[in-house]
Amino acid sequence: MQKSKAVTIQRHIVEQERLFPKATGDFTGLLWDLTLAAKTISREVNKAGLAEILGLTGEVNIHGDAVKKLDVYANERICKSMEHGGHLCVMASEENEDVIPIPDEFPKGKYVLMFDPLDGSSNIDANVSVGTIFSIYRRKTTGRDATIEDCLRKGMEQVAAGYIVYGSSTMMVYTTGQGVHGFTLDPSVGEFLLSHENIEIPSKGKIYSINEGNAHTWDEGTRRYIAYLKENDPSTSRPYSLRYIGSLVADFHRNLLYGGIFLYPADYKDPKKPKPKLRLLYEANPLAFIVEQAGGMASTGKERILDIQATELHQKVPLIIGSKEDVLLYEKFFNQK
Ligand code: P6P
């Protein structure tokens, strides 16, 4: 890991903004508001294990505040942190059925924020890493109010994407199309400090991440690919190691740094009606933008994730993402007749 240059994320964002001569600072403000929400969620996630001890399990906590499930808390925290800054025209969340309009009392901006507030939250009680994933687009419509059309986009239109992983430390990883950069939260000063500049994913890994318990639902190509990875052939760096946390951000983050492939293929029990699980707008698109910026690849097996035109807010897609050579090889197996 590179030595931290004690560059805060705020300073890094300003430096990134300087790369865009026409930038107005609006984008910088948006990302700053997001980092504040991240710090607040990190504090709550890290306290979660103390719920019993701190008396946070009742309807009302020791401060008299209503206690919420952490994913509900994270969702509300992001909405409250982002709605008043004047940077956004609309938001959409994995937790909300419909788009989230900016309240009339607040100024509207030119950006769209879509997010998964706390992915993997079912793992919280076991103290497993969880994460927030976000995606930013420029507004597309020109009417008075933004609409769902501003959210139903192709991932290639993103202007920024990132995630916060709440693990042994809290890290924020983001891209604005100028490479991928990681920041580690120093809780003693409450700042995200640059710890991983210009992250590049190895072109080929030795790790595969998939829920082997779903093997009975896999298509033939996926089945043959996973069997191939498990064959003993040191000349082609096989067998691979299976690493599967069951928390997308944690699995993705490890593979981004070490190399490897994460697979969540569709359930093919009914070959005529494949059923994917992960969401295009809140999970696949932001991670696909990040991995491509880091030199990797993200595919459904058939097509590039970032080329998919979203038609529904909660549209699901198969997600095969990670080291380029590994994803390319998967595509060969998946498309073999
Ligand atoms: P499974 C968590 O619920 C999640 O959405 C992702 O974070 C994770 O990668 C996936 O689902 C795990 O799903 O079916 O393997 O438990």
64 — pLDDT class (breaks 50, 70, 90): low
57 — pLDDT class (breaks 50, 70, 90): very low
In contact, 330 and 225? CB cutoff 8 Å: yes
283 annotated to a ligand binding site: yes
Rounded distance between C-alpha atoms, residue 96 and residue 114, angstroms: 11
Structure tokens of 23?
Answer: 């930038």
User: How many Cα neighbours within 13 Å face the side chain of 145?
Assistant: 10
In angstroms, what is the C-alpha Rg of the chain? 20
CA distances from 255 to 153, 259, 260 (A): 27, 5, 5
CA distances from 120 to 163, 244, 314 (A): 13, 12, 17
- Alpha helices by DSSP H, listed for 141-219, are none
Mutate to test the pocket of ligand 1, among 115, 264, 316, 317 (most ligand atoms within 8 A of CB): 264
Check residue 126 and give its pLDDT: 84
Q: Is 212 in the pocket of ligand 1 (CB under 6 A)?
A: no
Q: Give the residue extent of every domain in the chain.
A: 9-196, 207-335
Question: DSSP letter at 189?
Answer: T
Q: Is 33 in the pocket of ligand 1 (CB under 6 A)?
A: no
Q: How does pLDDT run across 123-169, given as a tens digit for each residue?
A: 887 888 999 999 999 999 998 899 999 999 999 999 999 999 999 89
Task: Give the active site residues.
Answer: 65, 71, 94-95, 116, 118-119, 283
Q: Which fold has domain 207-335?
A: D-Maltodextrin-Binding Protein; domain 2 (3.40.190)
Rounded distance between C-alpha atoms, residue 47 and residue 53, angstroms: 10
Which helix (H) or strand (E) covers residue 82, if one does? Answer: helix 70-82
In contact, 172 and 50? CB cutoff 8 Å: no
The identity of residue 219, as a single letter, is: D
In contact, 211 and 221? CB cutoff 8 Å: no
Q: How does pLDDT run across 244-272, given as a tens digit for each residue?
A: 999 999 999 999 999 999 999 999 999 99
60 — pLDDT class (breaks 50, 70, 90): low
Decide if pLDDT at 276 tops 80: yes
125 annotated to a ligand binding site: no
Q: Is 122 in the pocket of ligand 1 (CB under 6 A)?
A: yes
In the chain, the DSSP E strands lie at 88-93, 100-101, 111-119, 130-138, 160-166, 170-175, 180-186, 191-196, 207-209, 241-242, 261-264, 278-279, 297-299, 316-317, 319-322
- Is the model more confident about 48 or about 18? 18
In contact, 73 and 61? CB cutoff 8 Å: no
Check residue 180 and give its pLDDT: 97
251 annotated to a ligand binding site: no
| Pairing between β-strand 160-166 and β-strand 130-138 as defined by DSSP bridges | antiparallel
Lowest mean pLDDT among 3-7, 131-135, 236-240: 3-7
CA of 248 to the centre of ligand 1 (A): 6
Decide if pLDDT at 54 tops 60: no
Q: How does pLDDT run across 100-118, given as a tens digit for each residue?
A: 999 999 999 999 999 999 9
CATH architecture of the domain with range 9-196: 2-Layer Sandwich (3.30)
Decide whether 9-196 matches 207-335 in CATH topology: no
Check residue 17 and give its pLDDT: 82
Q: In what order do the strands lie in the sheet with 319-322?
A: 241-242, 207-209, 261-264, 319-322, 297-299
